[in-house]
Amino acid sequence: MGAYLSVPSWVRNLDSRYRFVLGECTECGGYTFPPEGACVECNAVGTLEPVEPAGTGEVVAQTVIESGAPPEFAALLDAQGAIGVVLVELDEGARVPGMLTDCDPREVARGDRVESVVRRIYEQEGIVRYGAKFRPEP
């Protein structure tokens, strides 16, 4: 079963999809992703200023999908054999989810350094959705 997201909803936060734009709290300096709502550090509301992180960080959790992927990812699973999904703590501090690319996802572990690249996420209704993924830092 897929989690359908319409194109109008998808484009609402392209900066975060493409470049992990974070919210920096003007009260405490903490970072929140996505950059909306209350600050995850100090719960202040209306204090988030968008900032663009370097896109590098460390894997804090990971899993591998080898079958049963949502239908929009079926083609990628066919082509790649497995899809790695990670939670990454960016060097700025915020935690962001992402897929892995350019690696064997089974060889990526907690603590590994990764960097973001923009790739095709999936194609649906003829429209290619692009977004940031992670690959191991060289």
Partner 1 sequence: MTGTESAEGHDGALGAVESVGTYVPRSTISAETVREAWDGFHARGVSEKRVPAADEDAVTMAVAAARNALDDSEHNRDDVETLALGTTTPPVDEGDIGATVAEVVGLGEGTEVSVHSQSTRAGTRAVVDGLRSGTPALVVAADAPRGSPDDAVDHAAGAGAVALVVADDGDAAVTDHATYTREFPGTRFRRRGNDEVETYGATTYEREAYTTTVTEAVDALDADFEALAPTAPDGSRPGRAGRAVEGSEVFQLAGELGDTGAASPLFGLVAAWDAGSESVAVVGYGDGASADALAIRGSIPVKTAWPSVEITYPQYLRQRGHVGGED
Binding segment for partner 1 (CB under 8 A), chosen from 31-39, 59-67, 84-92, 130-138, is: 130-138
> Which stretches of 3-94 are assigned E, i.e. beta strand?
22-25, 31-32, 48-51, 56-65, 83-90
Binding segment for partner 1 (CB under 8 A), chosen from 39-47, 60-68, 107-115, 128-136, is: 128-136
Instruction: Report the distance separating Cα 3 and Cα 59, nearest Å.
Output: 24
Instruction: Report the distance separating Cα 106 and Cα 3, nearest Å.
Output: 24
CA-based R_g, the chain, Å: 16
96-125 binders of partner 1 (CB under 8 A)? 101-102, 117-121
- Cβ proximity to partner 1, 40 vs 82, nearer residue: 82
5 binds partner 1 (CB under 8 A): no
In the complex, minimum distance from the CB of residue 94 to partner 1, in angstroms, rounded to a whole number: 18
95 binds partner 1 (CB under 8 A): no
19 binds partner 1 (CB under 8 A): yes
Instruction: Report the distance separating Cα 85 and Cα 62, nearest Å.
Output: 6
Q: Indicate the burial class of 40 (C-beta count within 10 angstroms; 0-12, 13-18, 19 or more).
A: middle
14 binds partner 1 (CB under 8 A): yes
- Cβ proximity to partner 1, 44 vs 82, nearer residue: 82
68 binds partner 1 (CB under 8 A): no
Contact yes or no for 44/37 (Cβ under 8 A): no
Residues in contact with partner 1 by CB under 8 A are 14-15, 18-19, 52, 71, 74-76, 78-81, 101-102, 117-121, 126, 128, 130, 133, 138
